[in-house]
């Protein structure tokens, strides 16, 4: 019963939502809206478990004096400040939460994202080393695309590099992308069917 | 006010006016019953129309509501106002404003917007879904009957045991990141399967497994999967719930936290399996710098090249979904993989047919496969 009931519920929910995709009638639209609300409610309950996990994790780090344990104070402090800014009325009225979000969290996130430029350079350096025939083809394709995308390449080759770059991007690149996309689409449908029919039960643990 | 004034005049003359031109009003197809499609043509004798005012009433003519002011060159309009009620009949009236300020009235027959019970524009999807489901059931049946089903080796999955063995020899932990999407994502569900396999092996080898999560719902499922795997391996005592933990639901703070974890703990092996976005290369490059062996897998097309460049093994697209069938060797699951292959054959045949027919100037295939969402 412990396994059969979740499989049965999964099948019913999946079947109704699959039918809903093909039925534009208001009744089914409402079913979809209600199921989304349920999903949000479950998400709200689970966030408490997440916070408990986060707090216990960092308290444990501080207690055990793990490596760089001092940063755990910043994490816990950040959690308390953000919760207070969002829930404590005087801070809420002054827009403290929005200010912290815009002036602290967003710049920090942007800093992390900007690191990507350097990581792309280091990864490209390794990937483009001509160690094999395939790696050499990759290197050549990369050189053509890079030269085709800058004004200098256009000036030097009188339009040859941009033409080759466009052909590489629009023909072999799109063909490979579409092949992967078709595979992904079929794989997703297959996985969904496995879950729906109860063949795939890894999400229930122990199967 | 001007619109209201015109509307009043129209109401006054409605009883005696005769309408030589009519508005074609039809219930919009494939919707939930809150939209009417209107189109009209002006008589050849009428010229210099600067704009229209569209009005709506019911057959009882209790109210006359202004729906929209429409430019003079437009000949159709879709009324999807929130006031439209499913199952109620409406009549539309159109006032054409001319240069001289005169108004010509056109009127529609009563039209009743209704919700449809089937979206005709999705027939191709339905047919293909039914064909694919049939293929899946057929191949499952064949697998049950004992037919041998071959699945090509997948390097990334074959390397899982090697990666765990490496971590055991080095005495360092294994890091498993199940993507940055919700548990409802198919790629995340696929990650749970591989996590179960990895956890069982780490339990057997007594190697520490660390699983940071971006969503609490994903964390709860991961905890259950790992716990069950440790119990299966006969080592429930070595399971540590604190090693499967929640970090944050923000993308880049999560990335920063996992990067910090990699640089502090120096895991021997990193698994990145699930849905990844811009953080994929930041994670994989940090893992490379930390000297970890890395196995990645995602169905996110734009991130696959990053993982290929920075990781030792990459599961591309559908290989991630195939992992559970490949690992379990369960005939039922292998049957679904074979159905995928058959569906691909069908798609390739349709593509070739389409290419040939289009080359000869016939677009019958693209017209037959048209999807109107």
Q: Tell me how close the Cα of B336 comes to any Cα of chain A, in angstroms.
A: 6
Interface check B210 vs A, CB under 8 A:
no
Per CB-CB distance under 8 Å, the chain A contacts of B297 are: none
Delineate the domains of chain B, giving CATH numbers in brackets. 2-108 (2.60.40.10), 120-147+332-368 (no CATH), 155-329 (3.40.50)
In a domain, A70, yes or no: yes
pTM reported for the whole predicted model: 0.86
Per CB-CB distance under 8 Å, the chain A contacts of B247 are: 54
Q: Is B183 helix (H, G, I), strand (E, B) or coil?
A: coil
* Domains of chain A: total: 1
- In order along its 207 residues, chain A shows pLDDT tens digits of 777 898 999 999 999 999 999 999 989 999 999 999 998 898 888 889 999 999 999 999 999 999 889 999 999 999 999 999 999 999 988 999 999 999 999 999 999 999 999 999 999 888 888 788 888 998 999 999 999 999 999 999 999 999 999 999 999 999 999 999 999 999 999 999 988 988 888 777 655
In a domain, A71, yes or no: yes
In a domain, A49, yes or no: yes
In a domain, A97, yes or no: no
In a domain, A23, yes or no: yes
For residue A200, the surrounding DSSP H or E stretch is none
Least confident range from A139-148, B97-106, B142-151, B206-215: namely B97-106
Interface check B168 vs A, CB under 8 A:
no
Q: How far apart are CA B98 and CA A1, in angstroms?
A: 74
Contact A195, A203 (CB under 8 A): yes
Contact B42, B96 (CB under 8 A): yes
In chain B, % of residues over pLDDT 70: 94
Interface check B324 vs A, CB under 8 A:
yes
Q: Determine the distance from the C-alpha atom of residue B223 to the mean position of all C-alpha atoms in its chain, rounded to a whole number.
A: 27
**B318 and A186: CB-CB below 8 Å?**
yes
Interface check B352 vs A, CB under 8 A:
no
Q: Copy the structure tokens of residue A72.
A: 């755990």
Interface check B84 vs A, CB under 8 A:
no
Contact B242, A57 (CB under 8 A): yes
In a domain, A165, yes or no: no
In a domain, A92, yes or no: no
List the single residue in A23, A51, A199 with the smallest CB-CB distance to B333. A199
Per CB-CB distance under 8 Å, the chain A contacts of B345 are: none
Q: Which residue of A has its CA nearest to B247?
A: A54
Residue numbers of the domain that contains A60: 1-87
Per CB-CB distance under 8 Å, the chain B contacts of A182 are: 344, 347
């Amino acid at each position: 019963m412990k396994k059969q009931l979740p499989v049965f519920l999964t099948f019913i929910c999946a079947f109704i939502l699959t039918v809903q995709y093909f039925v534009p009638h208001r009744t089914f639209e409402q079913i979809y809206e209600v199921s989304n609300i349920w999903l949000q409610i479950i998400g709200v309950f689970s966030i408490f478990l997440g916070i408990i996990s986060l707090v216990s994790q960092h308290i444990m780090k501080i207690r055990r004096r793990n490596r760089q344990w001092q940063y755990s104070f910043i994490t816990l402090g950040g959690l308390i400040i953000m919760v207070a800014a969002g829930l404590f009325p005087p801070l809420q009225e002054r827009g403290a939460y929005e200010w912290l979000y815009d002036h602290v969290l967003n710049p920090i996130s942007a800093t992390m994202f900007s690191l990507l430029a350097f990581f792309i350079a280091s990864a490209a350096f390794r990937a483009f080393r001509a160690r094999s025939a395939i790696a050499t083809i990759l290197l050549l394709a990369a050189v053509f695309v890079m030269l085709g995308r800058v004004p200098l390449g256009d000036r030097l080759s009188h339009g040859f590099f941009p033409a080759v770059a466009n052909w590489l991007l629009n023909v072999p690149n799109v063909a490979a992308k579409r092949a992967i996309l078709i595979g992904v689409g079929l794989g997703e449908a297959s996985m969904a069917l496995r879950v729906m029919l109860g063949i795939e039960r890894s999400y229930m643990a122990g199967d | 006010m001007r619109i209201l004034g015109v509307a009043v005049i129209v109401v006054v003359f409605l009883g005696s006016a005769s309408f030589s031109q009519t508005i074609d009003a039809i219930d919009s197809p494939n919707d939930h019953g809150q939209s009417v499609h209107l189109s009209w043509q002006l008589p050849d004798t009428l010229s210099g129309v600067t704009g229209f005012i569209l009005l709506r009433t019911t057959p009882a003519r209790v109210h006359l509501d202004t729906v929209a002011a429409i430019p003079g060159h437009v000949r159709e309009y879709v009324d999807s106002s929130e006031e439209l009620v499913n199952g109620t009949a409406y009549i539309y009236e159109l006032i054409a404003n001319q240069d001289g300020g005169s108004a010509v009235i056109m009127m529609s027959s009563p039209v009743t917007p209704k919700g449809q019970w089937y979206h005709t524009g999705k027939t191709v999807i339905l047919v293909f879904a039914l064909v694919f489901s049939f293929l899946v059931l057929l191949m499952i049946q064949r697998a049950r009957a004992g037919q041998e089903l071959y699945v090509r080796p997948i390097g990334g999955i074959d390397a899982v045991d090697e990666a765990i063995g490496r971590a055991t020899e080095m005495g360092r932990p294994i890091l498993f990141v199940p993507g940055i999407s919700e548990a409802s994502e198919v790629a995340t569900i696929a990650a749970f399967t591989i996590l179960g396999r990895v956890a069982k092996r780490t339990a057997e080898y007594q190697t520490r497994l660390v699983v940071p999560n971006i969503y609490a719902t994903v964390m709860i499922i991961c905890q259950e999967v790992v716990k069950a795997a440790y119990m299966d391996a006969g080592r429930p005592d070595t399971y540590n719930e604190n090693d499967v933990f929640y970090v944050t639901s923000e993308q880049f703070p999560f990335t920063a936290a996992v990067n910090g974890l990699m640089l502090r703990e120096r895991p021997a092996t990193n698994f990145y399996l699930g849905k990844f976005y811009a953080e994929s290369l930041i994670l994989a490059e940090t893992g490379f710098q930390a000297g970890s062996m890395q196995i990645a897998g995602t169905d996110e097309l734009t991130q696959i090249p990053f993982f290929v460049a920075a990781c030792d093994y990459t599961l591309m697209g559908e290989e991630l979904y195939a992992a559970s069938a490949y690992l379990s060797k369960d005939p039922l699951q292998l049957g679904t993989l074979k159905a995928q292959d058959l569906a691909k054959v069908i798609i390739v045949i349709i593509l070739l047919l389409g290419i040939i027919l289009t080359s000869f100037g016939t677009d019958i295939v693209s017209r037959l496969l048209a999807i109107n969402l």
